[in-house]
């Protein structure tokens, strides 16, 4: 098993000694958002090299004084605790999806920067949803000009006649088959590692071995990361 670096940071301490700089002020001075700073500071999001230098420049210190990297020990401690990925074939019926679009977002953090992080709360109020709210990477045919590939929404019956919240759109999705990739349980603060493990499995998996091909005309679905059940993504096949 390969050993991975653990990245920690001193942002909270640096903010304190910089006249108790707020996360919002740091976000403004680095050209990012408060949600991004919160994610970086808590260790839930690894910043780009450019962002790391921007943060260091704000405090007039080196990158090494902000971020530290540590390898797990030789016994494998601190290596991501994710079990083998379980892959199952499922079918989803014809349905509608009520979605909130972003602008250019391709992942959760970019989406939160564009729409705020309250969309999930709004989605949970929609009655008649299938299961729970989801995030999706939309295929090109469902992306409106000037809107994002990554969205959040709920799936509902094709006969849904309920309220559509202001600012949300409705798309129709056909009956389709999906491969569900589910990782093992993980500690909540290590959800990024759990996601990486599933993405690695997806990248290496060839659906041809079970007689299918990837279906790029249907959304890729991301479930809310929950440590108790493992990280889950669903990719359409045909």
Whether 64 and 113 share a structural domain: no
Asked whether residue 138 falls in the same domain as residue 43, the answer is no
| Residue at 230 is within a domain | yes
Q: Which of 3-7, 8-12, 101-105, 215-219 has the lowest average pLDDT?
A: 3-7
Provide the domain count of the chain: 2
DSSP labels for 109-156? HHHHHHH-S-HHHHHHT-TTBSSS-EEEE--GGG--TT--SEEEEEEE
Same structural domain for residues 44 and 108? Answer: no
Same domain? For 14 and 110 the reply is: no
What digits encode the pLDDT tens for the residues 56-100? 889 988 777 788 765 454 444 333 333 478 999 999 999 999 999
Query: Is 56 domain-assigned?
Result: yes
Mark whether 57 and 107 lie in a shared domain. Answer: no
What pLDDT digit, counting tens, does each position of 7-27 carry? 788 898 888 888 889 999 999
Task: Let me know whether 52 and 98 are in one domain.
Answer: no
Task: Examine the domain organization and report whether 202 and 126 are in the same domain.
Answer: yes
Quick one: average pLDDT of 203-226? 93
Quick check: 180 pLDDT over 80?
A: yes
The verdict on residue 148 lying in a domain is: yes
Based on the domain organization, do 227 and 110 belong to the same domain? yes
Q: Is residue 57 part of a domain?
A: yes
- pLDDT above 70: residue 112: yes
Please compute the mean of the pLDDT values over residues 123-133 and round it to a whole number: 90
Say if residue 54 is in the same domain as residue 116.
no
Burial class (CB in 10 A: 0-12, 13-18, 19+), 225: buried
**Between these two residues, 163 and 155, which has the higher pLDDT value?**
155
pLDDT value of position 8:
82
81 belongs to a structural domain: no
Q: How confident is the model at residue 232, as a pLDDT?
A: 95
Query: Are residues 155 and 227 both part of a single domain?
Result: yes
**Is 79 a member of any domain?**
no
**For the chain, percent of residues with pLDDT exceeding 90:** 50
What's the confidence (pLDDT) of residue 69?
64
Question: What CATH number should be reported for the domain holding residue 20?
Answer: 1.10.260.40
Task: Compute the mean pLDDT over every residue in the chain, rounded to the nearest whole number.
Answer: 86
Shared domain for 212 and 176, answered yes or no, is: yes
pLDDT band at 152 (very low <50, low <70, confident <90, very high): very high
pLDDT band, residue 51 (cuts 50/70/90): confident
Residue 80 domain-assigned? no
Does the pLDDT at position 52 exceed 60? yes
Name every residue whose Cβ is closer than 8 Å to that of residue 26 and which is 6 or more positions away in sequence: 11, 15, 37, 55, 58
Residue at a domain's end among 45, 70, 95 = 70
Q: Structure pTM?
A: 0.67
CATH number of domain containing 148: 3.20.80
Q: Is the pLDDT of residue 220 over 90?
A: yes
Same domain as 142, residue 186: yes
Q: Is residue 155 part of a domain?
A: yes
Task: Tell me the residue range of the domain where 60 lies.
Answer: 6-70
């Amino acid at each position: 098993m390969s050993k991975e670096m653990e990245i920690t940071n001193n942002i909270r301490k640096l903010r304190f000694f910089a006249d108790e700089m707020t996360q919002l002020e740091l976000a403004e001075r680095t050209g990012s958002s408060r949600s991004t700073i919160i994610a970086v500071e808590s260790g839930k999001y690894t910043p780009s090299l450019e962002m790391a230098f921007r943060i260091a420049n704000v405090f007039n210190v080196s990158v090494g004084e902000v971020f530290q990297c540590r390898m797990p020990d030789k016994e494998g401690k601190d290596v991501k605790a994710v079990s083998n990925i379980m892959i199952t074939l499922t079918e989803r019926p014809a349905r509608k999806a009520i979605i909130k679009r972003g602008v250019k977002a391709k992942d959760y953090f970019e989406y939160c920067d564009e729409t705020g992080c309250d969309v999930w709360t709004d989605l949970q109020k929609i009655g008649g949803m299938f299961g729970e709210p989801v995030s999706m990477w939309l295929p090109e045919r469902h992306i409106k000009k000037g809107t994002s590939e990554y969205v959040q929404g709920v799936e509902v019956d094709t006969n849904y006649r309920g309220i559509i919240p202001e600012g949300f759109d409705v798309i129709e999705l056909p009956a389709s088959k999906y491969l569900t990739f589910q990782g093992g349980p993980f500690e909540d603060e290590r959800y990024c590692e759990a996601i990486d493990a599933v993405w690695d499995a997806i990248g290496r998996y060839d659906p041809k071995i079970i007689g299918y091909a990837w279906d790029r005309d249907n959304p890729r679905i991301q479930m809310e990361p929950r440590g108790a059940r493992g990280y889950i993504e669903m990719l359409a096949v045909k």
